Amino acid sequence: MASKLLRAVILGPPGSGKGTVCQRIAQNFGLQHLSSGHFLRENIKANTEVGEMAKQYIERSLLVPDHVITCLMMSELENRRGQHWLLDGFPRTLGQAEALDKICEVDLVISLNIPFETLKDRLSRRWIHPPSGRVYNLDFNPPHVHGIDDVTGEPLVQQEDDKPEAVAARLRQYKDVAKPVIELYKSRGVLHQFSGTETNKIWPYVYTLFSNKITPIQSKEAY
């Protein structure tokens, strides 16, 4: 197995199970799971320059612009030159993908294709703990106490954009923005698309794909 560092990206709309798949890849293959959402929250909490810029957009319910996210992610990647990693939430746009090209070559891109009805159902069952970004789903990972975060005991909220009427708009927006990114990686022969309604059914295929690129650190497909 080549000792070259693996550079992977996961793409998928809100509610596609990206977080779960990333967790499993990290556990099974030892890749660093680099989530743009996590880094944004960390930087906002630490009042960094990038965090302050991002906060102004988030407070007005606007998308954080490309240059802010790119700046944030580039500095995080700079600190991880010697690690295998999996990017989640970046690149979201063609501009971000082009910026990523300047510092490394992506080896593997996973795109999760989940039917709209499934996404709508999942998101309507999704509750979050905003300060930490912890996500609960009432069907497959409910909190111990309904409406309460397991770790802090603080209340959970349902985001406005997880409500059914907003999901259709979010999905349309994701498709419009992601399409050129997907086409770019497809044209390079590094894109692998997985379709289905259940993460547990998609996972074995993702596991096999990664096993061909990097030696698993766990001997079985850990869930």
CA distance 223 to 201: 12
Instruction: List alpha helices for the chain, DSSP H.
Output: 18-29, 36-45, 49-59, 66-78, 94-103, 116-124, 164-187, 199-211
Q: Is 135 annotated as a binding residue?
A: yes
C-beta atoms surrounding 87 within 10 Å = 25
Q: Is 152 annotated as a binding residue?
A: no
Q: Is 12 annotated as a binding residue?
A: no
Q: Is 122 annotated as a binding residue?
A: no
Q: Is 15 annotated as a binding residue?
A: yes
Residues belonging to the chain: 223
Q: Is 37 annotated as a binding residue?
A: no
Q: Is 41 annotated as a binding residue?
A: yes
Q: Is 92 annotated as a binding residue?
A: yes
Q: Is 91 annotated as a binding residue?
A: yes
CA distance 27 to 147: 28
Q: Is 18 annotated as a binding residue?
A: yes
Q: Is 70 annotated as a binding residue?
A: no
Residue with tokens 């009432």: 138
Q: Is 136 annotated as a binding residue?
A: yes
Q: Is 179 annotated as a binding residue?
A: no
Q: Is 172 annotated as a binding residue?
A: no
Q: Is 126 annotated as a binding residue?
A: yes
Strands 191-195 and 7-11: unpaired
Q: Is 24 annotated as a binding residue?
A: no
* Residues contributing to the annotated binding site: 15-20, 36, 41, 62-64, 89-92, 96, 126, 135-136, 170, 199
* Residues contributing to the annotated binding site for AMP: 36, 41, 62-64, 89-92, 96, 170
* Residues contributing to the annotated binding site for a ribonucleoside 5'-triphosphate: 15-20, 126, 135-136, 199
